[in-house]
Homo-oligomer: A and B are copies of this chain.
């Protein structure tokens, strides 16, 4: 599988069940989210602006897309968590080979700053994203177990201590529109 197929399969609206594990404290977090994934044109103003900022050119880009999410957590409703549970990110893949490359992200996963992830698509179609942030290193894996169900895991390590801080797992279920007969 190549990145454009992965993006095409991901486009749509999803309901996500996400479990977060804080390893040191053995705490579970449960989050239910709505996720929208839209394909964008390379000429889209947001894509053009972000490319200008990052110093990459349009010619290198393939299948840019946007993710919007909005969730509710079973943890306390602190402002910090609320901010994390709603947002959007622009993702711009740039291929280096048929199954690997980088992905520019207007907003990171483990930290909210913009980030560049390295991606690799394994032979059995799991995509693995590695991102080095200021304080942490994150590895995300996404794989389809059905055309309408994606699994997504993440592992966040501390850069300083190389300890695993937290892991997470999401089951994402496509919202299938009812046919009008």
Contacts and interface: CB of A to CB of B under 8 A. Distances in A.
Interface string A113-129: 00000000011101010
**DSSP class of A's interface residues: helix, strand, loop or mixed?**
strand
Interface in A155-175: 155, 157, 162, 164, 167-169, 171, 173
A149 B23 contact: yes
Given A146-B164, A153-B169, A167-B171, A21 B17 contact: yes
Contacts of A164: 145-146, 149
Integer count of this chain's copies in the complex: 2
Interface string A5-24: 00000000001010101010
A54 to B, nearest CB: 28
A40 interface: no
Chain A interface extent, by class: 20 to 34
Given A28-B30, A30-B28, A173 B123 contact: no
A139 B26 CA distance: 26
A15 B26 contact: yes
19 contacts: A17-B21, A17-B23, A19-B19, A19-B30, A19-B169, A23-B171, A28-B28, A122-B123, A122-B124, A124-B128, A126-B126, A139-B145, A146-B157, A146-B162, A149-B167, A151-B153, A151-B155, A153-B169, A167-B169
Given A23-B149, A23-B173, A151-B155, 19 more contacts: A17-B28, A19-B21, A19-B30, A19-B169, A21-B169, A23-B171, A28-B30, A122-B122, A123-B123, A145-B164, A145-B167, A146-B162, A146-B164, A149-B167, A151-B153, A151-B167, A153-B169, A167-B171, A168-B169
